[in-house]
Amino acid sequence: MTATTPQDVIADTTDPRDALPTHLPALRAFAISLTGNVALADDMVQDTIVKAWTNIESFKPGTNMRAWLFTILRNTFYSYRRKHKREQPDPEGIHAAGLYEKPAHDSKLAMTDFRVAFAKLSDEHREVLLLVGASGFSTHEAAEMIGIAEGTVKSRASRARARLCALLGMEVGEHMLDGIDGSTAAVMSKSGTQAA
């Protein structure tokens, strides 16, 4: 059953670049979450698309195209960071732009706190949490994308979560959530307490 079927041959001759549009929302979500700056993120996504388009021969058909594109995007991000060291993310700016406004959401205020805290993390911590926590990549895929060992991905993600908790004023042993059944997230209840 491993023989090459006519469909496989046809699939091999299609241009993988045809799939680029389907990855745009994920690329933007990663870039915007990573930079906290929509204009910068869209410029980086544009660079990523151009690089992917012109270097498509370095993509191996049958491998994960999204992982390949994310790798290009993160390289673009770090080279941008090296050029513009002084600029900081602007989570309030994103909020002001109305980008994240969702109607009738129960926890908008808490989410703002979360975004502000997230933006204070180091680039490496934001990156690892976005890759393994939000984008749905495996530890193995994230390790390949970042170019570090899987164990390092896990320990880095763990430190990033601990740092985020500290920034949100939460401690692991804090008596604010009781296991899994706390219907209100600890993040939410903490912020709610502060807002009250």
Chain contacts with other proteins (rule: CB under 8 A): 20-21, 24-26, 28-30, 32-33, 42, 45-46, 49-50, 53, 99-100, 102, 111, 114-115, 118, 129-130, 133-135, 161, 164-165, 170, 172-174, 177, 179-180, 182, 185-187
Distance CA 90, CA 84 (A): 14
- Nearer to other proteins (CB atom), residue 7 or residue 66: 66
φ and ψ at residue 172, rounded to 5 degrees: -60, -40
Q: In angstroms, what is the minimal distance from the CB of 2 to other proteins?
A: 34
Least distance from other proteins to the Cβ atom of residue 6, Å: 26
Judged by CB, which is closer to other proteins: 36, or 143?
Answer: 36
CB of 29 to other proteins, least distance (A): 4
Nearest approach in angstroms of CB 89 to other proteins is 13
Residue 99 and residue 42 in contact, taking contact as beta carbons nearer than 8 Å? no
In whole angstroms, what is the distance from residue 169 CA to residue 88 CA? 22
Closer by beta carbon to other proteins, 67 or else 177: 177
Following DSSP, what letter does each residue of 5-59 receive, concatenated?
Answer: PHHHHHHHHS-GGGGHHHHHHHHHHHHHHHHS-HHHHHHHHHHHHHHHHHTGGGS
Nearer to other proteins, 30 or 68 (CB): 30
Nearest one of 22, 14, 10 to 49, comparing CA atoms? 22
